[in-house]
Structure 1
Amino acid sequence: MIDWLSFLVVLVVSIVGACTVVFLFALGLRLVAVPGGWRRPLGVASFVVCGAAVLWAVYLVVPAFHG
């Protein structure tokens, strides 16, 4: 039997996570592309957070990393 509530939770978390990563990457591109003294460090920080989210997701998906 399928647990539909758990399926819905996974679906919502996946969509929100994917949208967050795409938003952070797009924000980083926008901040790096526009010249300005304070925008470049924020853009790089956005890329770092985006990369950390992707690495964390890979850690959760690959069971060999869990030991």
Structure 2
Amino acid sequence: MKWFDLVEVAGATLVAAVLLVVLYSLGVRLTAIAGDARQKSPGMVRSLAYACFAACGIAVLFGIYLIVPYFSK
């Protein structure tokens, strides 16, 4: 059995999961900050939040692309 391949897949899975959680939680936090009344530039913060959500969605779509064999032909 190729143990290094198993460790490589486990590591990539761990990194991807942490990245998704960080991007989503950062987007939620920036959305909450943008709603604060004392914020000087809520539009900039809200656009950063949407960029985090978009990056999270792109990462999910890329994962689906890698998993589904129909797309990788």
**TM-score bracket, shorter-length normalisation:** over 0.9
CA distance in 1, matches of 2:23, 2:70: 28
Normalized per residue, which structure has more helix? 1
- Look up the match of 1:15: 14
- Look up the match of 1:64: 70
- Look up the match of 1:34: 33
Which of structure 1's runs of 4+ aligned residues deviate more than 4 A? none
Greater alpha carbon shift after TM alignment, 29-38 vs 19-28 = 29-38
Instruction: Flag structure 1 segments of 5+ consecutive residues without an equivalent.
Output: none
Q: Is 1:50 aligned to residue 56 of structure 2? A: yes
CA RMSD of aligned residues (A): 0.9
- Look up the match of 1:25: 24
CA distance in 1, matches of 2:56, 2:15: 13
TM-score, normalised via structure 2 length: 0.85
TM-score, normalised via structure 1 length: 0.92
Q: Which has the larger radius of gyration?
A: 2
C-alpha deviation, 1:7, in angstroms = 0.5
How many residue pairs get matched?
66
2:43 is paired with a residue whose SS is: coil
CA distance in 1, matches of 2:16, 2:72: 21
